[in-house]
Amino acid sequence: AQSVSQHNHHVILSEAASLELGCNYSYGGTVNLFWYVQYPGQHLQLLLKYFSGDPLVKGIKGFEAEFIKSKFSFNLRKPSVQWSDTAEYFCAVNGGTGGFKTIFGAGTRLFVKA
Amino acid sequence: ETGVTQTPRHLVMGMTNKKSLKCEQHLGHNAMYWYKQSAKKPLELMFVYNFKEQTENNSVPSRFSPECPNSSHLFLHLHTLQPEDSALYLCASSQVGGENEQFFGPGTRLTVL
């Protein structure tokens, strides 16, 4: 079955530091990949997604992610974080041998120190 | 109201009670989902409805019973729950199709005593 692994459960950064959150999934084939974010007290919302085309995807608030098919990875990056990026980030995948059931990772809690 | 709404936002129930969670989406979507979010665990998909038809039951115990009377409304009926069922229950909606993002509601925080 499809599974999603997020390598870091908690990340603490200072403002202006660069961010990279890892995400790997287990089964290949044609997949759709997502990063969702949950700001404190708010709903889960989409940050960015990949389903075809350019493997480097730009999202909201300066985030980007790169799909590397050979590594089954979809890492999230931001060159310079802000205090307002403090949130929980979830990687999600559907497709491949998992079918169209969307599988979420366990999430990474990011805390950005002002 | 816009987006996806869920009621109630908080629910405390005993193990012998029967209660229902309600979800409504105002986005014109044709797929709806129930998820369970427990501390330190990945979001767990419970049920999927496409065009009001259940297409996924992710091995959910029968004490959880979903109902989707139309594409805009989704219910989760609860009976004889266990304390380990305490969690945040999230509803989401989307257009049918794996490439489409899901829009989430605020969740119902359920505590089973």
Q: Contact A94/B40, CB-based, under 8 Å? A: no
Q: Are B31 and B95 contacting, i.e. CB atoms less than 8 angstroms apart?
A: yes
The letter for the amino acid at B65 is S
> How large a percentage of chain A has pLDDT more than 70?
96
Q: Which of A32, A103, A107 is the closest to B99 by Cβ?
A: A32
- What are the strands, taking DSSP E only, across B8-106? 10-13, 18-25, 31-37, 44-50, 53-57, 64-70, 73-79, 87-94, 103-104
CA atoms within 13 A on the CB side of A63: 22
Does the pLDDT at position B2 exceed 80? Answer: no
Give pLDDT tens digits for A27-56: 777 889 999 999 998 999 999 999 889 999
In chain B, residues with a C-beta closer than 8 Å to the C-beta of A46 are 101-102
- pLDDT band at residue A98 under the 50/70/90 scheme: low
For residue A1, what pLDDT is reported? 75
Q: Contact A44/B104, CB-based, under 8 Å? A: yes
- A49 interfaces chain B, CB cutoff of 8 Å: yes
The whole-number average pLDDT for the span A67-75 is 94
- B90 interfaces chain A, CB cutoff of 8 Å: yes
- pLDDT band at residue B86 under the 50/70/90 scheme: very high
Q: Contact B42/A4, CB-based, under 8 Å? A: yes
Tell the residue number behind the tokens 């949130």, with chain if given.
A87
- pLDDT band at residue B41 under the 50/70/90 scheme: confident
> CA-to-CA distance for B24 and B69, rounded, in angstroms?
11
From residue A24, give the alpha-carbon distance in Å to each of A59, A74, A92, B34, B80.
Answer: 19, 6, 10, 24, 37
For residue A97, what pLDDT is reported? 60
Phi, psi angle pair for A98, to nearest 5°: -80, -5
The whole-number average pLDDT for the span B50-56 is 88
Does the pLDDT at position B39 exceed 60? Answer: yes
- B104 interfaces chain A, CB cutoff of 8 Å: yes
- What are the strands, taking DSSP E only, across chain A? 4-6, 10-14, 19-21, 23-25, 31-38, 44-50, 56-58, 64-68, 73-78, 87-95, 103-104, 108-113
For residue B97, what pLDDT is reported? 82
For residue A94, what pLDDT is reported? 87
In this structure, what token pair is assigned to residue B26?
């105002």
The whole-number average pLDDT for the span B89-94 is 96
In chain B, residues with a C-beta closer than 8 Å to the C-beta of A90 are 43
Nearest Cα of chain A lies from the Cα of B75 at a distance, in angstroms, of 19
- B58 interfaces chain A, CB cutoff of 8 Å: yes
For residue A96, what pLDDT is reported? 64
Smallest CA–CA distance from A43 into chain B, residue: B106
Does the pLDDT at position A99 exceed 80? Answer: no
In this structure, what token pair is assigned to residue A80?
């310079």
In this structure, what token pair is assigned to residue A55?
């493997």
The whole-number average pLDDT for the span A64-68 is 96
Smallest CA–CA distance from A105 into chain B, residue: B42
What single DSSP character describes residue A7? S
The letter for the amino acid at B18 is K
Tell the residue number behind the tokens 């310079």, with chain if given.
A80
